[in-house]
Amino acid sequence: MTPDLIMTIGQRALETTILLAAPLLLTALLVGLLVGVFQAATQINEMTLSFIPKLVGMAVALVVAGPWMLKVIVSYTRDLFESVPGLIG
């Protein structure tokens, strides 16, 4: 097992993590921005107002992007398990 191989595995793991987190993080960012603009426009300073829309947005994002996210993680895991014999010796 060479250092280059370990770096490649780590890099691929980080790329997969970013790919899986991006839809949920972007959804939370956009919903939070929209709620913040709404709160600024209406001068409603309720801290819990942004929680429910973010929760609903994240649920919708999981429903929409869930199958793709599952396919990405299963593909990564399958590739990693298939490469184990080559990593050992």
Whether the Cβ atoms of residue 57 and residue 23 lie closer than 8 Å to each other: no
pLDDT band at residue 6 using 50, 70 and 90 as cut-offs:
confident
**How far is 78 from 37, CA to CA, in rounded Å?**
43
The full set of domain ranges for the chain reads: 22-88
pLDDT in tens, 34-70: 999 998 898 888 878 888 999 999 999 999 999 999 9
pLDDT in tens, 15-40: 999 999 999 999 999 999 999 999 88
**How far is 37 from 11, CA to CA, in rounded Å?**
37
